[in-house]
Amino acid sequence: MWVCFDLSLSDITYLSSRVHVAQLIISGDPNTVFLDNIYFFEQPATAPSEPAPVPSHAADSVISFFSDTYTDVTVDTWSASWDQADVEDVNISENVVKKYTNLTFAGIEFTSQTVNASDMTHFRMDIWTPDTTREPAALRIKLVDFGADGVFGGGDDSEHEISLTAASEPTALATTRWVSFDIPLSEFASLAARDHLAQLIISGDPNTVFVDNVYLRR
């Protein structure tokens, strides 16, 4: 039967340089060997090597949920008890980001102090994922407003979900690089009001996602 060998170049300890590789020598037993698919490859990155781009929007035009650049409002949880996701804070070059794994859907709640975003025009978030983003993969973002009564299920709640894919314009979902989504709030068409925003829900594929600079702006 065919046997596949996937060898790390770091295990070839006496190869002091790989700049001018010129020979591959095979020896030993067995004496008859069939070979195929001989190549070098780069192991895909599993985490960002550098932080997301530093946002440039003025602080007085931003409502920040999570960013080292701005002062954040109160967020009760980045992974609600009812969601299906794991989250942890990780440090990327002295910059803290949220890392989601096993992501099916993540509930981010700020229900104790809902957010009045009536003056805001855009939702912004930086995303980095090691997972494939080829279609049909899609990352979905939902905003939920609890209405004037400020509570869930009071009859005046509204919400809207958008999907981000590799075909999204003007910004496409991509693998192993930071992507900055700056989405007009007008695209959340079914969000009837923005005076009492209480939830942000991230769902779909990819399943491992690094998140930074989550904020509303005008």
The pLDDT mean for the chain works out to: 94
Assigned domain for 32 exists: no
Q: What is the CATH number of the domain that holds 155?
A: 2.60.120.430
Asked whether residue 79 is assigned to any structural domain, the reply reads yes
pLDDT at 154: 86
How many domains are there within the chain?
Answer: 1
Q: Give the model's pLDDT for residue 16.
A: 83
Neighbours of 61 (CB within 10 A): 14
Strand partners, 77: 109
Residue 140 lies in a domain: yes
Q: Are strands 122-128 and 197-204 parallel, antiparallel or unpaired?
A: unpaired
Task: Give the separation between CA 210 and CA 175, rounded to whole angstroms.
Answer: 11
Q: Which two tokens stand for residue 84?
A: 């299906």
pLDDT in tens, 51-90: 999 999 999 999 999 999 999 999 999 999 999 999 999 9
Share of the chain above pLDDT 90, in %: 79
Question: Is 7 within the bounds of a domain?
Answer: no
In a domain, 69, yes or no: yes
Q: How far apart are CA 63 and CA 117, in angstroms?
A: 8
Residue 9 pLDDT grade (very low, low, confident, very high; cuts 50, 70, 90): confident
Give residue 20's pLDDT band: very low, low, confident or very high (50, 70, 90): confident
Query: How far apart (Å, rounded) are the C-alpha atoms in residues 136 and 163?
Result: 11
Reply yes or no on whether the pLDDT at 187 is more than 80: yes
Domain membership of residue 42 (yes or no) is no
Residue 175 has pLDDT above 90, yes or no: yes
pLDDT given for residue 5 in this prediction: 87
Confidence at residue 153, expressed as pLDDT on a 0 to 100 scale: 87
Number of helices (H), then strands (E), in the chain:
0, 9
Under 8 Å CB-to-CB from 12, ≥6 apart: which residues? Answer: none
- Residue 170's pLDDT is 95
In a domain, 38, yes or no: no
Is residue 7's pLDDT more than 90? Answer: no
Range of the domain at 92: 59-217
How high is the pLDDT of residue 39? 86
* Closest C-alpha to 178, from 125, 105, 104, 217: 125
pLDDT of residue 180: 98
Q: C-alpha 44: how far from its chain's center?
A: 16
Q: Could you tell me if residue 26 is inside a domain?
A: no
pLDDT tens for each residue of 112-131: 999 999 999 999 999 999 99
Indicate whether 42 pLDDT > 80: no
